[in-house]
Structure 1
Amino acid sequence: MRIATLLLLLPLLLPACSARDSAVAEDGRERLVGLRADDLRLCAGVPNLTAQSAGGEFWTYDRTPPAAGVSAPVPVIGGSLSVSAGSTCRVTFQLVDGKVTRIGYSAASDLPMSQNSACAPVVQGCLRLVDQERVSRE
């Protein structure tokens, strides 16, 4: 009976993790402003796309993480429980004079309250380096 209860509660865990990742992405939107271009390349990698305009330089990162999912038999129900969530993200950093000035997210998620959750991996490494004071925002 405990396993059945656990499996029934499992669908609640995926949205909680996604909400946490969405909060990380939002935190990055504020805390990475001022990051130098070299530090951004160090922690986020080489962008998928770059563009220049009068407003500055734009670096874009596209991410499609693998869908999270669980499939397990539930004898009480007599079938199987399958929960999955798919999401995609595009993060665009605007750089002026070699420093991040703005960050924009264009994301889609199948889970409620997790709009930018797929964007978290792009900014997580940078946030970690900022927290460890290995890079600085100017």
Structure 2
Amino acid sequence: MRFACLTPFLFLALTACGTAGSRVAEEAQQKLVGMRTDDLQACAGIPTRTKQLEDGTELLSYEQKNGNIGGVNVTLPLVGGFNLAGSGSYCHALFRVAEGRVIGLNYTGDNDDRGGENGVCAPIVRGCLRQPVPARAPVPAPAVSMEPVGR
């Protein structure tokens, strides 16, 4: 009886845990717009592919591929074995860039996880959300004068 009462709460708790990746991916679509391209590459890495578009904007593609997820591997004596596995998941995060800044972020691919949409894409953008300030260029050292001392 007690277990039956707790079942809905258990389901809600498991669902809430499963949506963390989806929240990260959605948050990135809002917070990374306006980020400088240099800063994007400093936190997400070098894009897998780039494409210059006719309107002067550019697409930067980042990819996340996961192997088979879930499933069962069965081995039977004399018959052999077989897999009943899930199909693997992947995400292409497409950053649209204009004048050195991100103007949009879209996700494509088999990128939904158990908790929600685009959850597989979270590892691509998570590092950029953790970087609260833009990457800073090193400050040049002051010029040193080589004049004799004591003149």
**TM bucket normalised to smaller:** 0.5 to 0.7
Q: Does 1:129 align with 2:131?
A: yes
CA, structure 1 residues 110+99, in 2 after alignment: closer, same or farther (shift >3 Å)? closer
Structure 2 counterpart of 1:102? 104
Q: Distance in 2 between matches of 1:21 and 1:86?
A: 16
Unpaired runs of at least 5, structure 2 = 1-9, 73-84, 137-151
Question: What do the CA deviations read for 1:88-128 (whole angstroms, capped 9, x no partner)?
Answer: 11100000000000001013246444220110011100000
Structure 1 counterpart of 2:91? 89
Report percent identity of matched pairs.
Answer: 37
Higher strand proportion: 1
Structure 2 counterpart of 1:64? 65
TM normalised by structure 2 equals 0.62
One-letter amino acid of the structure 2 residue matched with residue 42 of structure 1 = A
Structure 1 counterpart of 2:121? 119
Higher helix proportion: 1
Query: Bigger radius of gyration, 1 or 2?
Result: 2
Unpaired runs of at least 5, structure 1 = 1-8, 72-82
Matched residue of 2:116: which SS?
Answer: coil
Question: What do the CA deviations read for 1:26-49 (whole angstroms, capped 9, x no partner)?
Answer: 000000000001100000001111
TM normalised by structure 1 equals 0.68
Structure 1 counterpart of 2:24? 24
Q: Distance in 2 between matches of 1:113 and 1:55?
A: 37
Shift of 1:66: 4.6
Q: Distance in 2 between matches of 1:70 and 1:24?
A: 26
